[in-house]
Structure formats: structure tokens, C-alpha cells
């Protein structure tokens, strides 16, 4: 039996680097991924994400701008505990509050499986279109990381920290 993986780009493209997840999903559309991997741009639509997660996934990979106080463009891999999302305040799902998404999912009888966040330190989330140069430069590395995670070959991002919560 093959794993079922959802790769979800989240973020607001009208807030600069907050559109990181959406840009990574765009880049993934041209990549070869296993047949069991679904990629989708959720933007700021948490309700849509919660309903799609009802499809039953072994792993959910969220792509998002995640400020940790590091250099802009730094990638991180976070393994989220969806039972206690109060422990992961750095995941700002832009109006879709991850705790609300996963709480709704549980109320509907669903489970997101293992939840990983491929995050990127933003330079700016001020109003405006387009990623900063630092964050745009991190997109190809994020694409490689997602591909490795989807194929089940990555346990961490190359040259970056893995933060477990």
C-alpha cells in the first residue's frame, strides 16, 4: 500500500513573502512527484484545506512563511503536533489558524496524519506582490525538500535546522 501525501501551499500572495507556500506549489507543478502525492494551493482557505484533509492522508506537508528570527530565506522543517497546536504559535496560517483547521478536521472525523511544515523565514509580509530576493532564492531548495519528503527519503532539510514541536 502506497502512502497518501497532501502538499498544501498556504499564504497570502498580497503580503509579499507570505506567498512563499503558494510559490512553492507553483514550482512543484513542473516537477515529477509520486502518483500518491497531491499538491494544492490553499492560499488563505483553511476551510477548504480541512475538507480536503477528510480524504485521508498519511502525511500532510504545509508550505508556509514561518518567522523564527533567522536570516530571511532560511528554510526549516517543523513536525507539528496536531493534538497540541498551542505549542506551535510560529505557524501563522493567515486567517485559517491551524488549530482551527485541525480542530474542525477532528470534529468531522478526519485525521491529517503526520503533519510537516516546510517553512521559510520571511523578509517582509507587508502589503505587496512578489517574494523578496532571499525568499525567492529559497523556493528551489523547498521544492527539493518537498520532493524528498514526498518520496520518503528526507528526515531533515539539507543545511538547515529541523524543529520538532
Q: What is the CATH number of the domain that holds 139?
A: 3.40.50.1450
What's the CA gap between 61 and 105, in Å, rounded? 16
Which stretches in the chain have pLDDT values below 50?
86-94, 154-165
Domain that holds residue 101: 5-164
Q: What pLDDT is stored for residue 165 in this prediction?
A: 29
Helices marked H in the chain — which ranges?
Answer: 20-28, 46-53, 98-107, 133-151
Q: Is 89 exposed, middle or buried (0-12, 13-18, 19+ CB in 10 A)?
A: exposed
Q: What pLDDT is stored for residue 2 in this prediction?
A: 63
pLDDT in tens, 153-165: 544 444 444 433 2
pLDDT in tens, 105-134: 888 888 888 999 999 999 999 999 999 999
Q: What pLDDT is stored for residue 27 in this prediction?
A: 97
What is the tally of structural domains in the chain?
1
Amino acid at each position: 500500500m502506497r502512502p497518501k501525501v497532501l502538499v498544501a501551499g498556504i499564504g497570502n500572495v498580497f503580503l509579499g513573502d507570505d506567498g512563499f507556500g503558494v510559490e512553492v506549489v507553483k514550482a512543484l507543478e513542473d516537477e515529477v512527484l509520486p502518483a500518491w502525492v497531491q499538491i494544492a494551493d490553499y492560499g488563505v482557505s483553511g476551510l477548504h484545506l480541512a475538507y480536503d484533509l477528510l480524504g485521508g492522508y498519511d502525511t500532510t506537508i504545509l508550505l508556509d512563511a514561518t518567522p523564527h528570527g533567522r536570516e530571511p530565506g532560511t528554510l526549516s522543517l517543523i513536525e507539528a503536533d496536531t493534538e497540541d497546536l498551542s505549542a506551535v504559535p510560529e505557524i501563522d496560517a493567515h486567517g485559517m489558524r491551524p488549530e482551527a483547521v485541525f480542530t474542525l478536521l477532528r470534529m468531522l472525523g478526519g485525521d491529517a496524519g503526520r503533519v510537516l511544515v516546510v517553512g521559510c523565514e520571511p523578509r517582509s509580509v507587508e502589503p505587496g506582490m512578489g517574494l523578496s530576493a532571499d525568499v525567492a532564492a529559497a523556493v528551489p531548495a523547498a521544492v527539493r525538500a518537498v520532493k524528498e519528503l514526498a518520496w520518503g527519503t528526507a528526515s531533515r532539510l539539507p543545511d538547515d535546522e529541523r524543529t520538532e514541536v
